[in-house]
A and B are shown apart, each in its own frame.
Chain A
Amino acid sequence: MTVPVGYYLILAAALFTIGLVGVLVRRNMIVMFMCIELMLNSVNLTLVAFSRIHGNLNGQIMSFFVMVVAAAEVTVGLALIINLFRLRSSVDADDVRSLRS
């Protein structure tokens, strides 16, 4: 009745995959952004699991920094999305094609 650490790693890999597929198939930019958050979280889970495997706290500190960077990324990204909404009146990723010749 024990849980090998590999199970956590498999769970993290599955969550990462779900986030990646979400970024690829969803078109609402906010939902794509949430999927990126999911991917970051799965990587955090991997770091914490490896921290337990190696028996020191470096992995937990790394995932702490990942959380900080994710918070910074969310503020800037949501500001970008709001600005795009002001220009395009839509948060659909397909509508943003100004750079396409």
Chain B
Amino acid sequence: MAEFVVFWIMAPLALGSALSMLFMRNAVHAALMLVLNFFAIAVLYAVLEAQFLATIQIVVYAGAIMVLFLFVLMLLGVHRDEAPGGKLRRQGPFAVFFGVVLFVVLAITVAQPFLSSEDACPDQVAAGTESTEPGSCVGLAGANREGNVRGIGLRLFTDYVWPFEVTSVLLVIAAVGAMVIGRKKENAEDLVDQLPSTDPSPEPEPDPEPEPESLAVAGEPDLEGTTES
């Protein structure tokens, strides 16, 4: 019963926040909608008997990663709303159509075998009791008997200790890589890709489409303003 209520509150919240993230013109509003979505998914994790992941979701995603996103948004200027249309505006209906096709395929192949009402998992309040229902869901009452965090910790440091160590190496490499990529270059000759105006050997680049001219005209004063300020 509790799961029913929480699911039907949080699932529309997650869907609505994701959809409104899609339609927000302002990137900061999109980021805030994404935070709301992460909170809704964290609550769903808790309902799915993954309490550790629910906590990690809030701390890592809604905390660290979204703060990083908002930090970069503030750094790069938040006043730039995305203009509607653009070069790829004909792509939109195709993207929506194939997205719907993908959703239907995923729903039929992944979710459809588990949709009948006896596929509901056994209630987590009745922990420890083995499920005798005919449904396909086993439930985590047995695996979480000593607590979800203890169960995950035991598996993580016994069966999965090698992937865990590799993950630490990955994080170190990512941190060093982000520092190397993001640091300011001392002299401009280091930059492989120069702006067209500062290119030492300007070559006449052939531009077949007529559209980039309007883009360049619109982009030029903006570019001047940001480099001077």
Contact = CB atoms under 8 A, between A and B. Distances in A.
Interface string A48-69: 1101111111101101110111
Given A61-B152, A89-B222, A1 B119 contact: no
B76 interface: yes
Give the interface residue-count category, chain A: 35 or more
Main SS at interface, chain A = helix
A70 B152 CA distance: 19
B223 A22 contact: no
B119 A6 contact: yes
Contact of B140 (A18, A22, A57, A67): A57
A48 to B, nearest CB: 5
Contacts of A6: 111-116, 119
A13 B111 contact: yes
Contacts of A3: 3-4, 7, 120
Interface residues of B, number: 100
Contacts of A45: 41, 44-45
A82 B182 CA distance: 7
Interface string A10-40: 1101111111111011111011011101100
Interface in A41-93: 41, 44-46, 48-49, 51-58, 60-61, 63-65, 67-76, 78-83, 85-92
Given A4-B120, A55-B142, A58-B155, A27 B82 contact: yes
A3 B46 CA distance: 14
Given A30-B69, A38-B34, A79-B178, 8 more contacts: A5-B121, A17-B100, A18-B15, A25-B88, A26-B22, A53-B137, A55-B142, A65-B163
Interface of B: 1, 3-4, 7, 11, 14-15, 18-19, 21-22, 27, 30-31, 34, 37-38, 41, 44-45, 48-50, 52-53, 56-57, 60-61, 64-65, 68-69, 72-73, 75-76, 80, 82, 86-88, 91-92, 95-96, 99-100, 102-103, 106-107, 110-117, 119-121, 136-140, 142-144, 148, 151-152, 155-156, 160, 163, 167, 170-171, 173-175, 177-179, 181-182, 184, 191, 193-195, 215, 219, 222-223, 226-227
Interface of A: 1-11, 13-22, 24-28, 30-31, 33-35, 37-38, 41, 44-46, 48-49, 51-58, 60-61, 63-65, 67-76, 78-83, 85-92, 94-95, 98
